[in-house]
Amino acid sequence: MRGGFSRDMDLAAFLRLLAAGWTLIRADALIPRELDDVLPPGVRTVARGLRLFSGRQARQGRPGERLARTLERLGPVAIKLGQVLSTRADIFGTVFASDLARLKDALPPFPLDQAKAEVERELGKPLADIFPVFGEAVGAASLAQAHRATMADGREVAVKILRPGIERRVAQDSATLLMAGGLIEALIPPARRLEPLAFAATVIRSLQLELDMRFEAAGAAELTEVMTRDGWMRAPQVVWDGVAKRVLTLEWVGGLPLSDPATLEVPGLDRKAIADNLIRAFLAQALDHGVFHADLHEGNLFVTPPSGIVAVDFGIVGRLAPETRRYLAEILYGFLTRDYPRVARAHFDAGYVPAHHDPDAFAQALRAVGEPVFGRAASELSMSRLLSLLFEITALFDMRLRPELVLLQKTMVTVEGVARRLWPDHDLWAAADPVVRRWIARELSPAARLKDFADEALRALRAIAGMAEAGAVSTVVVESARPSPGFAWFAAGAAVAGAAFLLARLLS
């Protein structure tokens, strides 16, 4: 065994990687012809040679569209990879990222009899005892499909069932993706700063969580509570009696699918208000509560006139730790006030930029990419573009991939795209204003700084107490049960120094 895989498994993964590469070559999606002008001469020659094997589909659509179609055919891991790649407009360009962001994974459903047998096996009861009425699939994706059903007590529900054998398929494709990440890291040094192996691991971990319906049920329940507090979006209640590892049951949600273009023409629908509510719901979840629905595309959204929104499919839940949210508050506030040294300090404090770099030079680089954005109309200023600014200078300052920020940016790009399709002239900043203003006031207020000071002081005192306890124990072993006077003076000095440091942080 090597790295968790046998030699046969490694060979199988390598062969699948070759097959995937061939599929990409046939679609001219591996090194697209549109890149010829920017490629080094040697790479351009190789790309043109590979293009001799491309098929008719290689002439259809933009590079992002060709890649999206190819990833759909390659399966669930490839689809997930494309969805994550769509977050990096700063690297691949806005049009390319937008084409990938529209990845759909609709597939033919597996047979109804097979779905019924799966539900009975997972829930351990005859189907008729749980769901007297169990209909055909109403939607099928690469990992699972959903059925409308009626419970014995009359409740209308949606039953989501994993595809048979999907775990094996995901495991095989995950091994292939890890091998691809390892090869990129080994053979293409400039790509190492993008952490290809960590990127692959992020995609795989996301899929692993989606393969256990109990995790999705827990995420749905948590987000239902969060959404109820703000009221900008709601989610269906979990029916826990119908939850197992491969089966999830939720109350049936009414509403019109946002994925249907006809929905936007329904009388009484306030498209602008829906766009506002979508932006506010996402920001409130992420910034106020630290947990957010991370897959808010049209296929997972239903609307009710005039402006109600219901979200479904909780397989991907994003989380932000309190300290990450504070750093983001500093970064966003610094950008909005054009205080680039402040943005730079926040990056260094968060560890996003290695300490050996010059904060002043980093602030200068931030100014270079930030200033062109300001002075534009609010409707032209993209929040996802502002987040992308943070990544545009990664090559110069060794910024590493941050999985939690990648998921946040991915969702922001998706939400912003949906809002603009709902209302092309939508003012994202005006919609976000009540949430962002509340967030900044809470995170950057004197009261917030005082709380941070108190928390840091408490941690310092606990550390000092631990040192004192350790000193007392060692003294018992050697001499007596009392710490030495020298240690007492050391502890007192550490306490004074710690308090002075924390007070300086508070006043800075």
pLDDT (tens digit, 9 = 90+) per residue, 296-306? Answer: 988 899 999 99
455 tagged catalytic:
no
Q: What percent of the chain has pLDDT over 90?
A: 34
Average pLDDT, the chain: 80
With tokens 């003294």, the residue in question is 475
Question: What is the pLDDT at residue 350?
Answer: 84
For residue 143, tell me if it sits in a domain. no
- Check whether 223 has a pLDDT greater than 70: yes
Alpha helices in 143-188 (DSSP H): 166-187
Ramachandran angles phi, psi of 320, nearest 5°? -130, 125
Amino acid at 169: R
391 & 279 share domain: yes
358 & 427 share domain: yes
Among 391, 423, 439, identify where a domain stops: 439
313 & 384 share domain: yes
Q: Which residue in 99, 276, 295, 427 is the catalytic one?
A: 295
User: How many degrees, rounded to 5, is the angle at CA 195 between CA 48 and CA 317?
Assistant: 110
Question: What is the pLDDT at residue 114?
Answer: 97
Give 241 or 36, the one with higher predicted confidence. 241
Question: What is the pLDDT at residue 505?
Answer: 42
Amino acid at 172: Q
> Three-state SS across 384-439?
HHHHHHCCCCHHHHCCCCCHHHHHHHHHHHHHHHHHHHHCCCCCHHHHHHHHHHHH
Question: What is the pLDDT at residue 401?
Answer: 60
- Of the pLDDT bands very low, low, confident and very high (cuts 50, 70, 90), residue 237 is very high
* Residues in CB range of 47: below 8 A, 6 or more apart: 31, 33, 35, 36, 39
Amino acid at 260: D
379 & 275 share domain: yes
* Calpha distance 158→253 (Å, rounded): 8
Q: What percent of the chain has pLDDT over 70?
A: 76
* Residues in CB range of 135: below 8 A, 6 or more apart: 147, 148, 149
434 & 481 share domain: no
Distances (CA, A) of 463 to 293, 450, 495: 37, 20, 10
Among 384, 416, 439, identify where a domain stops: 439
Report the candidate in 175, 181, 105 with the shortest Cα–Cα distance to residue 145: 105
* Calpha distance 170→175 (Å, rounded): 9
For residue 365, tell me if it sits in a domain. yes
Per-residue model confidence as pLDDT tens digits over 433-474: 888 788 878 877 776 666 666 666 666 666 666 666 665 555
Handedness of CA 131, 135, 139, 141 (dihedral sign): positive
Domain of 500?
A: 447-507
What tokens appear for 459 in the block?
A: 């941690």
For residue 135, tell me if it sits in a domain. no
* Calpha distance 344→326 (Å, rounded): 14
CB atoms within 10 A of CB 151: 18
Per-residue model confidence as pLDDT tens digits over 398-419: 776 666 677 787 788 788 888 8
Per-residue model confidence as pLDDT tens digits over 299-357: 899 999 999 999 999 988 999 998 888 887 787 778 777 899 988 998 888 888 889 99
* Calpha distance 66→75 (Å, rounded): 15
For residue 500, tell me if it sits in a domain. yes
Q: How far is CA 346 from the centre of its chain?
A: 21
For residue 283, tell me if it sits in a domain. yes
Question: What is the pLDDT at residue 5?
Answer: 46
484 & 359 share domain: no
**Coil, strand or helix at 232:** coil
Question: What is the pLDDT at residue 338?
Answer: 85
312 & 358 share domain: yes
Counting Cα atoms < 13 Å in the Cβ hemisphere of 385 gives: 18
For residue 466, tell me if it sits in a domain. yes
- Of the pLDDT bands very low, low, confident and very high (cuts 50, 70, 90), residue 504 is very low
What tokens appear for 203 in the block?
A: 């995609």
Section 58-77 average pLDDT: 84
257 & 351 share domain: yes
**Coil, strand or helix at 343:** helix
For residue 225, tell me if it sits in a domain. no
CB 384 within 8 A of CB 412: yes
428 & 342 share domain: yes
How would you label 432-470 residue by residue, b for 16+ Cβ within 10 Å and e otherwise? beebbeebbebbeeeeeeeebbeeebeebeeebeeebee
For residue 215, tell me if it sits in a domain. no
What tokens appear for 168 in the block?
A: 């094996």
Longest dimension (CA), the chain: 86
- Check whether 151 has a pLDDT greater than 90: yes
What tokens appear for 16 in the block?
A: 């699948």
Question: What is the pLDDT at residue 460?
Answer: 63
46 & 195 share domain: yes
Q: What is the CA radius of gyration of the chain?
A: 26
How would you label 279-307 residue by residue, b for 16+ Cβ within 10 Å and e otherwise? bbbbbbbbbbbebbbbbbbbbbbbbbeeb
Total domains in the chain come to 3
- Check whether 420 has a pLDDT greater than 60: yes
Question: What is the pLDDT at residue 459?
Answer: 66
320 & 350 share domain: yes
Per-residue model confidence as pLDDT tens digits over 465-475: 666 666 555 54
Among 395, 418, 439, identify where a domain stops: 439
* Calpha distance 333→342 (Å, rounded): 9
Per-residue model confidence as pLDDT tens digits over 353-391: 889 999 999 999 888 877 876 655 555 666 656 656 655
Report the candidate in 305, 314, 295, 293 with the shortest Cα–Cα distance to residue 254: 305
298 & 181 share domain: no
Section 106-110 average pLDDT: 83
Kindly report whether the global pTM for this prediction surpasses the value 0.75.
Answer: no
